[in-house]
Amino acid sequence: MSVVSVRDLRVYYGTPHGPVRAVDGVSLEIQEGETLGLVGESGCGKSTLGRGILGLLPEGAAADGEVVYGGRNLVTLAPRELRELRGPDLGLIFQEPMTRLNPLLRIDDHFAETLKRHEPGIGDAEARRRSLDVLGKMGIPPTRFRQYPHEFSGGMRQRIMIALALVLRPKLLIADEPTTALDVIVEAQILGILADLKAGFGTALLLITHNLGIIAESCDRVAVMYAGKLVEEGPARDVFAEPAHPYTRELLESTISLATTALHSIPGAPPNLLEPPSGCRFHPRCPDAMRVCVEREPVELRLDGDRRVECWLHGPEDQVSDEGRRELVREEIAIADEA
C-alpha cells in the first residue's frame, strides 16, 4: 500500500535572476515498509525533493503538484495543518545533527519538548519511558539521558536525531544523508538501525544519499535524480545490474571497489538550473547523446521489472534509429565545449 504518492512535483527558488528549477516534475511512490533510495550528484535537487514532500521550504520557494498522504495533498495544506502532521506522521532526519540539536538543552528536554508538542496530554513518566525506550534501541544508555549534545560523538548525536524522529512513530521517514561525515563502522550501525526500523515499525523510508554502496545495501528500490528530474527508477538490484540511463551507468562506473584499477569520472558538472539545457538535461555530458536528445525532452518509458526511465536510447524507435545522428551531435557538443 502506498504511504505517499508524489505526482509532478515542482519546487522553484526565486532569485534576482529568475527561478531556479530545483525539482522539476518529479513523480514517485513509497510503499509501506519500503526503503526508496534517492541518489545523484550534489546539486541535483535531492534534499529539495525531500523537503518539498514535507513542505519544509524556505521563504521565496514555490511548490506545485501533488504530494498525496492520507488522501490529502500536502502541497495545498495550510502551514498549521502541515505542522500537525510532521512528527507523528511525517519524520525527517537532518544532515549534521550538531546543528539541529539545541546546545542549551539536555537530551531529555529535546524529547520532552517533542512529545508534549504533539501529544499534549502525555505525562512526564510516560514521556521519559518512551524516550528511554527508543534511545535504548539506538544504543544510547539511560545514564546519558541528562547530558548535553556537545558531550556526544557525531555518531551518537546522529542516533539521537533518529530517536527523536522515531519517538512519535511516523509512517513516513525522510533521511537526508544520515551517515554524512561518519566513519564506516558508525555508518554501518546507523544503516542497521534504519533496517530494523523498517522491519519493526513498517515505516516507509526515503533515504537520500550520494553513496551508491549505501543504496545497494539498504534500499528496495532506487530513484536516480539529475538536474531536478528523475531519470531512472526501479528495483535496486535490477538497476545496479543493468542501468538503463547513461547517467546511472556513469555513476556506477565512478564508484571504487576492490576490483578498481583506474579511476573514472563523469566529465563536466551538473547544469545551472536557472537555465537548464534544452532537451535531455544530461546530453552535454552524455557519451550516447543523439540529436533528438538536444532537441526534445525525453518521455518516460516503462521497462520490464517495474522499471521506468527517461532516455531516448529506449524509444520511441522513430526518434533514435538513425545512428549517424549520434556521431553528428557528439561533434556539435565538442565544438560547443571548445567555444
Q: So what's the architecture of 2-231 in CATH?
A: 3-Layer(aba) Sandwich (3.40)
pTM: 0.87
Number of C-beta neighbours around residue 324 at 10 A: 9
pLDDT band at 335 (very low <50, low <70, confident <90, very high): very low
- pLDDT for the residue numbered 338: 53
pLDDT band at 88 (very low <50, low <70, confident <90, very high): confident
Residues paired with 302 in a beta bridge: 308
> Per-residue pLDDT averaged across 8-34, rounded?
93
- pLDDT for the residue numbered 97: 65
Whether 129 has a pLDDT exceeding 90, the answer reads yes
pLDDT band at 221 (very low <50, low <70, confident <90, very high): very high
Report which of 84, 78, 69 is spatially closest to residue 168, judged by C-alpha positions: 84
Q: Are strands 72-73 and 90-93 parallel, antiparallel or unpaired?
A: unpaired
Cβ pair 172, 6 in contact under 8 A: no
Whether 328 has a pLDDT exceeding 50, the answer reads no
254-290 pLDDT per residue, tens: 988 778 888 889 999 999 999 999 999 999 999 999 8
User: What residue ranges do the domains of the chain occupy?
Assistant: 2-231, 245-338
Residue-averaged pLDDT of the chain:
87
> Per-residue pLDDT averaged across 130-150, rounded?
91
Q: What percent of the chain has pLDDT over 90?
A: 56
Residues paired with 41 in a beta bridge: none
86 alpha-carbon distance from chain centroid: 17
